Amino acid sequence: MAFALSSLQVTSSAFLNHQPIPSKHTGEGDDVSPALSWDGVPEGTKGVAVICHDPDAPLVKDGTYGFVHWVLYNLPGDIHDLAENTPVGTPGMNDQGSHGYCGPMPPEGHGSHLYYFWVLALDHQTSLPEGLTLKELLNEIEPHLLGMNRLVGTYQRG
């Protein structure tokens, strides 16, 4: 399957779709990942990956645009939620240069940015090493993608 939206639905108890992300989940707050839930996973889902990406960030890296805030993978296919500040899964490399979640914090005076929290359903359970970049992860999982969808949050630096 190509990268296309599916019937999978992603929600958070921290914010609604296209609504502000609480400062607790940003670089100006506690910088902890928000709780996420998903329903409607495709039949045959055996693994899950989660990504948070800001396409509005003024950054071009390795031919891609925006800022990668979170790459999380090796999640089992039978889970349907992640707790706030989850210890579950294997963290990848974010564009801040660290492993794990780094919350929204657009440049000062840059206005509101959109943050896409993607959930990707896979046809097998991955066991990939820690620290993969977004590009490396997508190269590994693309042939195994069953479906995907996202929750979009907004944030404007205070």
Domain positions in the chain: 9-156
- CB < 8 Å & 24+ apart, contacts of 128-133: 128/73, 128/74, 128/90, 129/90, 130/90, 130/91, 130/92, 130/99, 131/91, 131/92, 131/93, 131/99, 132/71, 132/73, 132/92, 132/93, 133/62, 133/68, 133/71, 133/92, 133/93
Going by pLDDT thresholds of 50, 70 and 90, the confidence category of residue 4 is low
Buried/exposed 6-37: b ≥16 CB within 10 Å, e otherwise: bebebbbebbeeeeebbbebbbeeebebbbbe
**Hey, what are 26's tokens?**
């940003």
Q: How many CB atoms lie within 10 A of CB 111?
A: 10
Going by pLDDT thresholds of 50, 70 and 90, the confidence category of residue 1 is very low
The rounded distance, in Å, linking the Cα atoms of 49 and 19 is: 23
The rounded distance, in Å, linking the Cα atoms of 136 and 93 is: 10
Domain 9-156 in CATH 3.90.280.10? The answer is: yes
65-105 per-position pLDDT tens digit: 899 999 999 999 999 999 999 999 999 999 999 999 999 99
Q: List C-alpha distances in Å: 109 to 28, 54, 112, 156, 157.
A: 14, 16, 9, 9, 8
Name the pTM for this structure: 0.94
Query: What is the per-residue pLDDT for 10?
Result: 98
| Lowest pLDDT segment from 60-64, 108-112, 121-125, 129-133 | 60-64
H or E element that contains 114:
strand 112-122
Query: What is the per-residue pLDDT for 143?
Result: 94
Query: What is the per-residue pLDDT for 27?
Result: 95
Report CA 12 to chain centroid distance, whole Å: 12
Looking at every residue in the chain, the average pLDDT score rounds to 94
What letter does residue 68 receive in the DSSP assignment?
Answer: E
